A and B are shown apart, each in its own frame.
Chain A
């Protein structure tokens, strides 16, 4: 609030806290959310190029297939599955489940394992398809 008195105590800043999985998962949820916004531009570009014709589509495919494009797509996939898995954790909290600290820690670890596994699975699937075609 703009008119709040300025001599009020400040809450502790981030560097004072010991890193915990709860804050890590929360910060990552927001960071990946914003990152997925950028990734969504790639989906839009890919679809619009496919509708525009073969030349525009070749340009997109050329970019996505380059090492830089693949690196971005790998990060995109990882962020997508992290946000998806942690989003399910958020939906569970909304339903009132899993609020105790031990469960939160375990569900946080489970999110990292599931997101990593799903990311690897998607890429193994993609490379298997490419090898077969």
Chain B
């Protein structure tokens, strides 16, 4: 019976989810933001080499450093989530495994990114 099914019936529901452009755009937007933010982050961390907790708290106590750090974390974790998503879609083929990996990727990136941002906020507020 399969040969009588029209081509459209075999491909319906298997095509693009129409979200590719948004994924592409956010990946680029976060990439552009991460260029200066990463250079700033590495320079800051290098200048904190061997520093103690007091120095780290003093660094993140400044509003500029705290804000840039939040921007770095949000763009970084978002960029990471999108990138790992593409790797999973490319190499994990079983539907159940793929869906599980995609969900875990989202959850881990959001939770870990959220926890890192909370840590920055708590250091900024001196709690």
List the interface of chain A (C-beta within 8 A of B): 1, 3, 30, 33-34, 36-37, 40-41, 43-44, 47-48, 50-51, 54, 57, 65, 77, 80-81, 84, 87-88, 90-91, 94, 118, 122-123, 125-127, 129-130, 133
User: How many Cβ-Cβ contacts under 8 Å join chain A to chain B?
Assistant: 90
In the complex, chain A residues whose CB is within 8 Å of the CB of B83 = 33-34, 37
In the bound complex, CA of A36 to CA of B47 (Å): 21
- Per-residue CB proximity of B42-61 to A under 8 Å, as 1/0? 11011111110100110010
Is B64 engaged at the interface, CB distance under 8 Å to the other chain?
no
CB distance from B41 to the nearest CB of A (A): 8
Residues of A within 8 A of B49 (CB): 125-127, 129-130
Assess whether A50 is in contact with B53, with CB atoms less than 8 Å apart: yes
CA distance A47 to B56 in the complex (A): 9
Q: Quick check: is B74 within 8 A (CB to CB) of the other chain?
A: no
A-B contact pairs, 29 of them (CB 8 A): A1-B14, A33-B84, A33-B87, A34-B87, A37-B80, A37-B84, A40-B77, A40-B112, A41-B112, A43-B73, A44-B112, A44-B116, A47-B123, A50-B119, A57-B53, A65-B50, A77-B42, A80-B38, A80-B42, A84-B39, A87-B35, A91-B32, A125-B43, A125-B46, A125-B47, A126-B45, A126-B47, A129-B47, A129-B49
